[in-house]
Amino acid sequence: MNTMQMVASDGLTIAKRNVIKIKRVPDLIVFTILSPIMFVLLFAYVFGSAIDIPGMSYREFLIAGIFTQTVIFGSTWTGLGMVEDLQKGIIDRFRSLPMAPSAVLIGRTTSDVLINVVSLIVMSLTGLVVGWRINTSLGEAVAGYLLLLLFAYALSWVMAVIGMWIRTPEVFNNASFMVIFPLSFIANTFVDPSSMPPLLRTIAEWNPMSALTQAVRELFGNTNPMMPTPEVWPLQNPILASLLWTALMLIVFVPLAIHRYQKAVSR
């Protein structure tokens, strides 16, 4: 077996191990299945009655933002898993096995994708119940889902690096929440940025989550010509901007994560 085949095989084995763990930890099942339902229902029925989007249903405007927020939070499982495995000594056990070192990271990030697939399925079904619809072709809809998963996969590598810098799961949870939560709201995920104060509007317009959300809205056909035309490049070209952000994260953080992992296991 050559090196690439070994890395792929070992990575899939680690991913399978992480997915099996979900069945044995009820908290993970609750987060994966119930949280997306809660977010859709909460925003659709509570905030939906108070927020007006000209020319379209707020629920159609909303769903792409919730998709983005959920897959972004789903990407944190890689960082949390790395922290827990390092803390519990599981990584030391992996070191004693004849496996490719990078397989641990590949398995972790791949299992995040599988978790996000489940979340997207649950959210899509819940969205259909509350009135959300896809108004484009099947190919464009599939492209929207793939873009969400690809972006979240790239972010998983960022979280892997952070996870190997932080020593405890509690600190990682707090740190990731403090970063991701504001970014998911200072964006076009739930409201139109044109209504924000100037500073927050600028942050929202250049926020990678805004580009991803806008791209998904376009691919799902959840946009409306009555809304103000975006004035910044990322929102004028959201699909390309999302792909560029994805590529940048992978180029920077994949080698950084592998280097950090090798350093962590060499102690």
CA 131 to mean position of chain CA atoms: 24
DSSP state of 229: P
Rounded CA gap, 79 and 71, in Å?
Answer: 14
The whole-chain average pLDDT of the chain stands at 84
Whether residue 229 is predicted with pLDDT greater than 60 in this model: the reply is yes
Rounded CA gap, 149 and 114, in Å?
Answer: 9
CB distance 37 to 130 below 8 Å: no
94-108, 150-164, 183-197, 253-267: least confidently modelled range = 94-108
Rounded CA gap, 204 and 208, in Å?
Answer: 9
* pLDDT at res. 166: 83
* pLDDT at res. 174: 86
Parse the chain into domains and list their residue ranges.
7-265
Residues in the chain: 267
Backbone angles phi, psi at 252, to 5 degrees: -80, -45
pLDDT tens sequence across 21-69 = 666 666 666 766 777 788 888 888 877 777 777 778 888 888 999 999 9
Residue with tokens 């989007």: 53
Pick 208 or 267 by higher pLDDT.
Answer: 208
Q: Which pLDDT band, with edges at 50, 70 and 90, does 86 fall under?
A: confident
* pLDDT at res. 11: 66
Which two three-digit tokens encode residue 254?
């994949």
pLDDT tens sequence across 171-181 = 888 888 888 88
Q: Which pLDDT band, with edges at 50, 70 and 90, does 94 fall under?
A: low
